[in-house]
A = this chain, B = another copy of it.
Amino acid sequence: MSWEDKVRKVVPYTPGEQPSDDHKVIKLNTNEMPYPPSPKVAEALAAFDVDSLRLYPAPDVGPLRDALAARYGVEADEMFVGVGSDDVLATAFLTFFNSDRPVIFPDITYSFYDVWCDVYRITYEIKKLDEEFHIVKSDYLTENGGIVIANPNAPTGVSEDKDVDFIEDIVKANPDSVVIVDEAYVDFGGVSALPLIDKYDNILIVRTFSKSRAFAGMRIGFAMGNSRLIKYMNDVKYSINSYTMNRPAIELGIAALSDEEYYADAVAKVVKTREWTARELRDRGFTVTDSRTNFVFAAPPADRISARELFSGLKKRNIYVRWWDKDRLRDRLRISIGTDEEMQALIKAVDEIMKG
């Protein structure tokens, strides 16, 4: 017997590499925005009252929560704010997934879902995406302890349908489970299920500032759902950490919401660069999914080079992308969309590597 017998042992999630010198590499491995936050954020930083840091922040994240609620047309008690969407999702898993029935999600999706299940001892069952990486709807109409769907999905980039019916059918068929829809990438071309929160009390929409708002370093995520769902999440949050969002996150987060035009332009640029990148890769024999995100998911032509070789070749040239040594994933790379210059450098490197 030792204290180690009482330890919760887990296999943690592995985030994409963060090289300590961010300037020397072309970093296309963690789906960050290639453009900086709005100038309004710099203004808010310059106006920030350092002396206020001696005081605790608002435990209910009031000012930022209210600004978000106004922006998305929901009530303040339908909005939950956390330390990135990882914190929001982890809190939702802990809050809503407490039964003997398995929580279900796809085999290929955000690889944190099974990690949260493991750390919180939640039973889960994975359902295979079809050959085109689409969800098989009937898989989600069986008895379950909860459902998690990333839409658009990662690392595939694939979006389910052009309207919300696909999600609605699943939500409607599962009144006894909470359905979490992880919309981290929705701003890059997905269709949000947000309208469903007025019609169903069992759907939670999760979003992040890390991607489309160029705020990965600030750690802001949020969730929207009916007020009872949000109340239960807040009860759990207040049972773990009263004050999760620091004062700079609250104030600069509000500033980031005050310049929608800037972010719409930045997102449009990323989408344009994404389409260019996908075309260039397809021209070279790659299979590329129809991405609605800020990355492409691409399989190099297998007769010419493996994804693993390409991954290593790019890394040698200081271009970081993401590759997983897992079934159904190992023949592909996930490549975040950078600036036009960065993607031109990527394509040039691909050509060099494939030339051998």
Contact = CB atoms under 8 A, between A and B. Distances in A.
Interface of A: 1-15, 18, 20, 22, 27, 30, 32-37, 41-42, 45-46, 48, 50-59, 62, 83-84, 86-87, 90, 94-99, 115-116, 118-119, 145-146, 175-178, 201-202, 210, 214-219, 228, 232, 234-249, 252
Contacts of A3: 96, 175-178, 201-202
Contacts of A87: 240-241, 244
Contact of A56 (B1, B15, B55): B15
Contacts of A238: 12-15
A36 B51 CA distance: 5
A96 B242 contact: no
Contacts of A94: 8, 119
Given A3-B202, A9-B235, A232-B7, A54 B27 contact: no
Contacts of A33: 54
Given A7-B96, A8-B96, A83-B244, 5 more contacts: A3-B202, A10-B239, A37-B51, A83-B83, A116-B239
B55 A7 contact: no
Closest 9 CB pairs of A and B: A12-B238, A36-B51, A119-B239, A217-B247, A54-B214, A248-B248, A53-B217, A15-B242, A219-B246
A232 B5 CA distance: 12
B8 A37 contact: no
